[in-house]
Amino acid sequence: MKALYLLIALFPGLAMANSDSKFAIGLGTPYGGFAGLKYSVKVNDDIFYAGAGLAHIDDSDVGVTLGWERALNEKHGFGFALRGRTVEGGNVYYPAGYFGLDEATRRKDGYEAALFGNYTYYFSGASQSGFLAGANVGKQYRKDNVRSYVRNGTFIGVHLGYQF
């Protein structure tokens, strides 16, 4: 969450520079996970973005993505991003008397974070409105508060969107 505050604090400075900002809607990791919105600012050959949306198709958790891309030319970009979300515990709950609780309680099970590299192809160009598509490969971590262990795995994904 601190990274999100830092990015928000940087956006006014980026807006004053020679920059071009775009909103996008789409599917995939840059849009928070499954589907969502993305706000990007292009400064020279660098594209900084923040995305938020539905983290997974099976639940209502919100995912947040912060990223950077380097535009190799007007149609191709390579970069890195960090995505995070809280994970609902599902059937995990604590009955009254468990851990000294006065009443039954349900809580978040933990969090999930991912660091990934991505490639994006802009059909009309990175500075233009139009469709975009790409792929990402990264490492995913999940911290489970109940069982206190970290699971990790490599993931591969695609993303599709339209920027305005």
- For the chain, the domains span 2-11+20-163
Going by C-beta distance under 8 Å and a sequence separation of 6 or more, which residues neighbour residue 18? 43, 44
Short-list 36, 22, 132, CA closest to 77 = 132
Question: Which residue did the predictor score with more confidence, 159 or 113?
Answer: 159
Query: In the prediction, which pLDDT does 91 show?
Result: 45
> Given the DSSP bridges, would you call strands 62-71 and 76-94 parallel, antiparallel or unpaired?
antiparallel
Radius of gyration of the chain (CA): 18
Please tell me whether the overall predicted TM-score, pTM, comes out greater than 0.85 for this model.
Answer: no
Reduced to 3 states, what is the DSSP secondary structure of residue 158? strand
The model's confidence at residue 94, banded by pLDDT at 50, 70 and 90, is very low
Over the stretch 17-40, which tens digit does the pLDDT of each residue have? 567 899 999 999 899 888 999 999
Mean pLDDT of the chain: 79
